[in-house]
Structure 1
């Protein structure tokens, strides 16, 4: 999967090593998901929740392979928003930059909310019974945002040093939890039937809205920092694959031991009661089996894990914001290797992160919307890879995706299914807003005639959004109707395949100077 390629010129900004990058990936992927998702997905899918984690890992790994090719070929700071500008121009670049910035900044907020919500178990004055913060809880959330802001004003190496320590600490408690819970393991809960829902429907609902996709998709912080990595052609692919595989194994182990320790008395009505009985799953299950000391340790780690992930995504949000502002011409390019992010990008990132802590009360209220926004920011990545294969076939690619004719469309289709499974309300709101904003941007460009760069991508992007809204509407009357109706399923797959082929052929001519 590799080929000889010239190494990039030495860059003073490349301060991050392979270990730093692996820790960034694991730190971004392993946050509040392990603290909340186990009981939620068990309530949705029962023992089939293990399949949900496995499918989620597969989707993340496929997208990771594509990011490996792009990140190794174009190791740029904020690369996740620069790739669409390179492949398709301004319109797709604006579209992906907008949704990525919203997704990243909202992840910072959800991790802060998760830490505060778990801390409320030990300090009730931080939260209300419904999970929303009190004034004291909100001030605690605000204090962390300030801390993360100041950490990320320092150099990339200073950030990595803090993140390496935090990531090491936050993995120790999950490992200990797996060992302790394995000693109390029982196979009896694995024989409890799912209930009225079909296994397939349960798996896909847990995948989209149970926190699984949210838990896995920590790939882009690695790519966002690629411009500051030593030997990115080697280190970016290794770090991406390592982060996905390692965290996938840990998530599967945690879900297995959680289910294996559920009291059979709590399963007398099936799985539906589990989220309510175990709102803080690993803390609560420790109390049930009589390991109170580890339950208290989980509460401590429950603050470290989300805050560590929030800090990683604050770092990525700043780099994405800087890249976007540079592409829009709204900020000067940063040339200081110790400060790759300018004050405007820092201010914009902090303001967005702060905003997302205001209207939403709890982790559960955020995770479905944020997961879908994250997937939306990833969905077009296979298209970008395919377009660059057509328009820049001679671009040095130290890492090449094997069989892109299959991996590309399969990744695009699977990602689109995850968006569809989020439900009509979420799809209509998120994609509807994105459709209106992109339409407004298109009208602005046409009226001002400032540039026609990338406008030919507008057709397939807007068609894709309109089609997704239409299929989500068709799916709303009966859960998973798209899967149960062969005709509707075939129509959806053909629609997505057509969009993929259209988009892959809509790439713009590439400036080869950008390969440097």
Structure 2
């Protein structure tokens, strides 16, 4: 029997590049056009809203990540604050949101590589049998990179992120030389109104692009000096990513040729947006670079998410509500290898024939934001239930920022539309029932099922109400229209404030934060 432990080998630069590496993926390749189709020239406002929303959430997690540096912390915090049942529900949502990203990024790589190797896909962009196997081989390569060592993984990721940051910056500079200010009034500044801007935030890949900030939280258990480096890495990754994406959206809108806008922004359709735009402007050399980078950028993100999915599965298993084998860590490599295997298999699953990139990122965005809504509640609850907790980064204005973060996250979920919310929220209610049916297998020795339910009812009622609001809400967001805009969103805001304060009041009075002083103290008694 040998002990295995997570190894603290990641520096501030590594953590920041983990965030940026996840942020600069397929999002920058597709989201600018998706945003323009939804919101027209005003799409940059959607990026600004997305950046502010994620920054508010990120600031909350900066306090949590600094005070409780745990691998897969996004799953651990709700378990600490509200018990295993809430942790279980968030674990299921995270399973969807994390596991799918590596597969989506591999799909994006294959789609751009098809420019040179046409046998990889059909004219409509779907993978051929050969294309699917190439995607699988790419994921296998990332699996092997992660399998050997977290240190090797971190250094490779830092190199790739530094490399792929250069191409978006070059694109911004070059496209500014073909900038047409008149494009910002072509067919109206906001042809879809503010509703179009709101839809773009959640379904155009904007929130999806910013979700990479969570990597610093997920790898907190493997960071050097995590109380200092985790909060700084979160803030840096979101800030730099926001500046980059807003500039990319502005230059994309400004550089589109007038003839491409003959039928309006909604009908703008480039298969490879930035690369095709560069070629249309007579910049074949830039198009070639963009097609090459379109393979590199998603590869770095796929590599990161394959690894972070394993940390989330590890964290979920540590709560006692997922398979215990996922807690096993290789003593030599310091990697949770069983969880990494499952992460690899799940990423392959998401490369099977599914809907378009835009539809999938809507699912991922909503599922991820669903896991984030607990962060503000947990952080505010800990201020009351664990006042002596050492907080190297103490968020000023928590009483304002935390509820705003919860409300904005709720709006993003609502903006994602009924077609996605129906099965995503519905699945949460189903797994809640499954937990109740299997309660004898769940951890109830320290926290009774009755106590767990008392700490969970606020979340279940919140899900039920959001389910109903999404169905009866505005037709602009896929609802029946029984509750028109803006009254639908006003109700979402009111319900969100009520759920937030109810959630704080429902927290465990004595959170057991001493279960794991550090990950290094845990005895993993199997040598993988």
Distance across 1 between alignment mates of 2:398 and 2:333: 36
Q: Indicate if the aligned counterparts of 1:379 and 1:416 stay in contact, CA closer than 8 A.
A: yes
Distance across 1 between alignment mates of 2:128 and 2:276: 23
Q: Indicate if the aligned counterparts of 1:105 and 1:353 stay in contact, CA closer than 8 A.
A: yes
Task: Give 1:283's aligned residue.
Answer: 275
Task: Give 1:513's aligned residue.
Answer: 514
Taking the TM superposition and a 5 Å limit, the aligned residue runs for 1:255-294 are 255-274=249-268, 276=269, 278-294=270-286
Superposed CA deviations along residues 360-401 of structure 1, whole A, max 9, x for unmatched, are 154234222122112112122111112212211111111112
Check if 1:327 corresponds to 2:319: yes
Superposed CA deviations along residues 399-455 of structure 1, whole A, max 9, x for unmatched, are 112111111111111111111111111100111111111122123217989442633
Q: Indicate if the aligned counterparts of 1:113 and 1:362 stay in contact, CA closer than 8 A.
A: no
Task: Give 2:37's aligned residue.
Answer: 43
Deviates more, 1:396-405 or 1:338-347: 338-347
Task: Give 1:463's aligned residue.
Answer: 461
Deviates more, 1:172-181 or 1:437-446: 437-446
Task: Give 2:94's aligned residue.
Answer: 100
Superposed CA deviations along residues 217-270 of structure 1, whole A, max 9, x for unmatched, are 112111010011111111111111100010110101111111111111122222
Deviates more, 1:361-370 or 1:225-234: 361-370
Q: Indicate if the aligned counterparts of 1:116 and 1:126 stay in contact, CA closer than 8 A.
A: yes
After superposition, the Cα gap between the structure-2 partners of 1:166 and 1:140, relative to the gap in structure 1 and judged at 3 Å, is same
Q: Cα distance, 1:479 vs. partner?
A: 4.3
Distance across 1 between alignment mates of 2:116 and 2:393: 48
Distance across 1 between alignment mates of 2:441 and 2:156: 48
Q: Indicate if the aligned counterparts of 1:442 and 1:458 stay in contact, CA closer than 8 A.
A: no
Q: Indicate if the aligned counterparts of 2:203 and 2:359 stay in contact, CA closer than 8 A.
A: no
Task: Give 1:112's aligned residue.
Answer: 106
After superposition, the Cα gap between the structure-2 partners of 1:429 and 1:361, relative to the gap in structure 1 and judged at 3 Å, is closer
Check if 1:25 corresponds to 2:25: no
Task: Give 1:5's aligned residue.
Answer: none
Check if 1:499 corresponds to 2:493: no
Q: Cα distance, 1:344 vs. partner?
A: 2.1
SS in 2 for 1:217: helix
Q: Cα distance, 1:497 vs. partner?
A: 1.1
Q: Indicate if the aligned counterparts of 1:132 and 1:362 stay in contact, CA closer than 8 A.
A: no
Distance across 2 between alignment mates of 1:22 and 1:137: 32
Task: Give 1:306's aligned residue.
Answer: 298
Q: Indicate if the aligned counterparts of 1:286 and 1:292 stay in contact, CA closer than 8 A.
A: yes
Distance across 1 between alignment mates of 2:6 and 2:223: 10
Q: Cα distance, 1:195 vs. partner?
A: 8.3
SS in 2 for 1:315: helix
Deviates more, 1:224-233 or 1:350-359: 350-359
Task: Give 1:194's aligned residue.
Answer: 188
Q: Indicate if the aligned counterparts of 2:473 and 2:484 stay in contact, CA closer than 8 A.
A: no
Distance across 1 between alignment mates of 2:125 and 2:174: 28
Check if 1:379 corresponds to 2:373: yes
Work out the number of aligned pairs and report it.
504
Distance across 2 between alignment mates of 1:39 and 1:487: 29
Taking the TM superposition and a 5 Å limit, the aligned residue runs for 1:346-385 are 346-360=340-354, 362-385=356-379
2:156 aligns with one of 149, 158, 162: 162
Distance across 2 between alignment mates of 1:110 and 1:514: 36
1:70 aligns with one of 64, 73, 82: 64
Deviates more, 1:43-52 or 1:469-478: 469-478
Q: Cα distance, 1:165 vs. partner?
A: 1.1
Superposed CA deviations along residues 190-237 of structure 1, whole A, max 9, x for unmatched, are 121338954211100111111101111112111010011111111111
1:150 aligns with one of 144, 152, 162: 144
Q: Cα distance, 1:507 vs. partner?
A: 1.3
Deviates more, 1:485-494 or 1:303-312: 485-494
SS in 2 for 1:513: coil
Superposed CA deviations along residues 89-118 of structure 1, whole A, max 9, x for unmatched, are 110110111111221110111111111111
2:172 aligns with one of 175, 178, 181: 178
Deviates more, 1:461-470 or 1:439-448: 439-448
Distance across 1 between alignment mates of 2:250 and 2:97: 29
Superposed CA deviations along residues 57-106 of structure 1, whole A, max 9, x for unmatched, are 00111111011000000011121211111111110110111111221110
Q: TM-score, normalised by structure 1?
A: 0.93
Distance across 1 between alignment mates of 2:475 and 2:336: 48
Distance across 2 between alignment mates of 1:209 and 1:389: 34
Distance across 2 between alignment mates of 1:448 and 1:269: 57
SS in 2 for 1:53: helix
Q: Indicate if the aligned counterparts of 1:131 and 1:361 stay in contact, CA closer than 8 A.
A: no
After superposition, the Cα gap between the structure-2 partners of 1:257 and 1:488, relative to the gap in structure 1 and judged at 3 Å, is closer
Q: CA RMSD in A?
A: 2.1
Distance across 2 between alignment mates of 1:479 and 1:98: 25
Check if 1:246 corresponds to 2:244: no
Deviates more, 1:389-398 or 1:489-498: 489-498
SS in 1 for 2:382: helix
After superposition, the Cα gap between the structure-2 partners of 1:68 and 1:515, relative to the gap in structure 1 and judged at 3 Å, is farther
Distance across 1 between alignment mates of 2:222 and 2:190: 51
Distance across 1 between alignment mates of 2:231 and 2:438: 38
Task: Give 1:441's aligned residue.
Answer: 435
Q: Cα distance, 1:325 vs. partner?
A: 1.9
Q: Indicate if the aligned counterparts of 1:27 and 1:309 stay in contact, CA closer than 8 A.
A: yes
Distance across 1 between alignment mates of 2:187 and 2:336: 55
Gaps of 5+ in 1: 1-10
Q: TM-score, normalised by structure 2?
A: 0.91
Check if 1:341 corresponds to 2:335: yes
Superposed CA deviations along residues 261-300 of structure 1, whole A, max 9, x for unmatched, are 11111222221221x2x22111011101111011011011
Q: Cα distance, 1:354 vs. partner?
A: 1.2
Q: Indicate if the aligned counterparts of 2:160 and 2:300 stay in contact, CA closer than 8 A.
A: yes
